[in-house]
């Protein structure tokens, strides 16, 4: 699906390619760190990093998710300060990535490094309708381990 993008940093699309799906079946497009100098993230550090782009989804039946890259997350502890970034369809500002070093060693984020990924997902908006009773289900209000561990 086509999405409108504004290039906010001229290195996007020149020095670094405009993000695309890496393979035919890739769910996400990688977001690069649009920074001038490397950033050292010590264990526990969180920094808000620019992507150099604004993507306007426009259609409220979709949202963007910013998710960690598995390699960075597993090997280096580089995940997201907000765990998952949710991008509203009406957001027109620069995509920002909260990069969190949850690991135990320092990590150096280089200019242009692919730090996270963006996935477009369908959304169903809800209107809450107040009722007094629900139709009874087998689960009812059981939760948080109610069905046991076996
Ligand atoms: O990782 C993220 C998360 C959010 N955003 C932008 C797009 C999103 O549409 C907007 C608001 O995000 P959210 O609703 O999660 O944050 P909030 O703290 O509720 O802010 P607001 O009061 O602006 O909704 O911030 C990003 O650029 N990166
Ligand atoms: Mg919000």
Confidence band of 133 (pLDDT split at 50, 70, 90): very high
Average pLDDT over residues 103-117: 98
In a domain, 55, yes or no: yes
In a domain, 86, yes or no: yes
Does residue 143 sit within a domain? no
Please identify, by atom number, the ligand 1 atom nearest to the C-alpha of residue 80.
1
Distance 96 CA to ligand 1 centre (A): 9
Whether 88 is covered by a domain: the verdict is yes
Specify if 130 maps to a domain.
no
Taking the CA atoms of 48, 6, 116 and 119 in sequence, report the sign of the dihedral they define.
positive
Cβ of residue 86 lying under 6 Å from some atom of ligand 1 = yes
Whose atoms come closest to the Cα of 98: which ligand? 1
Question: Does ipTM exceed 0.90?
Answer: yes
Count the neighbouring beta carbons within 10 Å of the beta carbon of residue 62. Answer: 16
Strands (E), the chain: 4-7, 29-32, 39-41, 46-50, 53-56, 62-68, 78-80, 85-87, 96-101, 107-109, 114-122
CA of 150 to the centre of ligand 1 (A): 39
Can you give the CATH number for the domain in which 86 is found?
2.70.40.10
> Residue 53 belongs to what domain range?
4-122
Q: Which helix (H) or strand (E) holds 71?
A: helix 70-76
47, 86, 92: residue to mutate for ligand 1 pocket, most atoms within 8 A of CB: 86
Q: What is the mean pLDDT of residues 3-25?
A: 98
**131 is a domain residue:** no
Flag whether the pTM goes above 0.80.
yes
Q: Is residue 45 part of a domain?
A: yes
Domain count, the chain: 1
Ordered DSSP codes for 134-148: PPP-SSTT--SSTT-
- At 51 the pLDDT is 98
| Local confidence band at 94 (pLDDT 50, 70, 90 cut-offs) | very high
């Amino acid at each position: 699906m086509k999405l409108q993008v504004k290039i906010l940093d001229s290195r996007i699309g020149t020095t670094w390619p405009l993000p695309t799906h890496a393979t035919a079946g890739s769910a996400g497009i990688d977001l690069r760190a649009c920074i001038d100098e490397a950033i050292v993230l010590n264990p526990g550090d969180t920094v808000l990093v620019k992507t150099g782009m604004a993507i306007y989804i426009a259609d409220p039946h979709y949202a963007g998710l910013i998710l960690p890259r598995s390699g960075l997350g597993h090997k280096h502890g580089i995940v997201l300060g907000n765990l998952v970034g949710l991008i509203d369809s009406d957001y027109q500002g620069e995509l920002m990535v909260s990069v969190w070093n949850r690991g135990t060693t320092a990590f150096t984020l280089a200019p242009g490094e692919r730090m996270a990924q963006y996935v477009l997902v369908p959304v169903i908006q809800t209107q809450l309708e107040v009722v007094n009773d629900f139709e009874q289900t087998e689960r009812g209000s059981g939760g948080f381990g109610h069905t046991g561990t076996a």
